Amino acid sequence: MKKSVVLLLVCGMFISSFTAYGQTHVKVMYEQGKYGGWPANWGMWNWGNEILVGYSYANHKDISGHGHSYDPASSLTKFSRSVDGGLTWTMEDAYENGITESTWENNLGERSKKATKLAEQIDFLKADFAMTFRMRGELFGGTSFYYTYDRGRHWEGPYELTVPFSGPAPTGIVSRSDYIIEGKHSMTAFLTVGFGDDEKNWRQVACVRTDDGGKTWQHLSWIGPEGINSIMPSSVKLGAGKLLTIIRRTKPAMMVTFLSEDNGKTWTQLNDPVKVDANGHPPALLKLKDGRLCLVYGIREATTMDDGIGMYVTFSSDEGKHWSKPELLRGKDGAAWDIGYPRAIELPDGKVVATYYYNNVNWGDKYRYISATIFDPKQK
């Protein structure tokens, strides 16, 4: 059944009348004349009720036709931090916090510092640890990484990511942040890797691991066939040696699921979790404390789903084999196609906070902004 929607604005907070999950929508970063975009490109982390999310911050630019309404040359990385479970947010400058290399959508000019080789092992089990991977291009170039021991207030890096891949040499490692901590010096990461020749360009997802705190990385496997444009994995650990990843594909737009039962060495494709549209959409996958999987994603075309453009959620109770009917988390509030790229975390009380970029163009506000939806996955 379709649900009518009323949105109330109270102190910058939107409260939706379709409250199957008690959702509340909060503006993380909104400025007139600015464009906020793509949390999935940067990362989101939490330490209890303290949350940090990264995103692109640029000047708004009016455009004609179908495209992103921003000035790429002005784009920088920003963080926003919440210490109350996502209800209020404060912006932080990524460069001042140590993100000092020019990478994709982070144009630092002469301030940029060159990535170096990591000399000391990273302790992945530090209580206030986080890590981020930063790509320099979408097909060509490399990826660097940073780590923090103080919840992102200061970042160490950039460090060059080097992986001895099996098979044909790639044109670049073009990764966002997707990793699973395995131990003090052990981490499994899921990378997007670029390939190109005179006839065809594509990207493929690789599973890699370090056992020496990030100094060296071993290529474990390619996930899925080559020649298909596969990017932006979102991955969880289901149990001992059992990994699940959901991957964005473009042309045709798909979300595909792969399961490994040997800790990343081999993969089996499962049923697709959801239908997507446009150029595909990145997944935000969580394993909840109650054992279910939670998947948040965006829909950019009005005809794809009965409820139209918006942010959606679905759940799996059998480790990704089957998924519930997707439900609208946020929509019917004037959004045009330029939305999504979510990240999500679970709070200590079991609520989920999903961040994404959004707009209300069809209600007369042309600016894109970063938003958060706080919802209770147990409430129905």
Q: pTM, whole model, 2 decimals? A: 0.94
Residues 243 and 263 sit within 8 Å (Cβ to Cβ)? yes
Cis peptide before 348 (omega within 30 of 0): no
What is the structure's pLDDT at 78? 99
Torsion (CA) 259, 124, 171, 265 in degrees, nearest 10: -30
- The closest of 206, 110, 95 to 161, measured between CA atoms, is 206
What is the structure's pLDDT at 18? 53
Kindly state the tokens that stand for 302: 């009005």
Kindly state the tokens that stand for 224: 């899925």
- pLDDT tens digits, residue range 144-187? 999 999 999 999 999 999 999 999 899 999 999 999 999 999 99
Residues 162 and 116 sit within 8 Å (Cβ to Cβ)? no
What is the structure's pLDDT at 251? 82
- pLDDT tens digits, residue range 328-368? 999 999 999 999 999 999 999 999 999 999 999 999 999 99
Residues 132 and 145 sit within 8 Å (Cβ to Cβ)? yes
Alpha-carbon distance values, 127 to 48, 71, 182, 210, 360 (Å): 11, 38, 14, 19, 38
What is the structure's pLDDT at 51? 99
Q: How many CA atoms lie within 13 A of 159 on its CB side?
A: 23
- pLDDT tens digits, residue range 231-262? 999 999 999 999 999 999 998 999 999 999 99
Residue predicted with more confidence, 169 or 220? 220
* d(C-alpha 342, C-alpha 40), whole Å: 5
C-alpha 224: how far from chain center = 20
Alpha-carbon distance values, 42 to 129, 130, 285, 370 (Å): 16, 12, 15, 13
Share of the chain above pLDDT 90, in %: 90
Residue at 301: amino acid letter: E
- pLDDT tens digits, residue range 266-297? 999 999 999 999 999 999 999 999 999 999 99
Q: Which one-letter DSSP state was computed for residue 70?
A: B
What is the structure's pLDDT at 66? 85
Beta-carbon contacts of 126 under 8 Å, excluding residues fewer than 6 positions away, are 149
Q: What is the CA radius of gyration of the chain?
A: 20
Tell me which architecture the domain covering 24-375 has in CATH.
Answer: 6 Propeller (2.120)
- pLDDT tens digits, residue range 53-69? 999 999 999 998 889 99
- pLDDT tens digits, residue range 101-147? 999 999 999 999 999 999 999 999 999 999 999 999 999 999 999 99
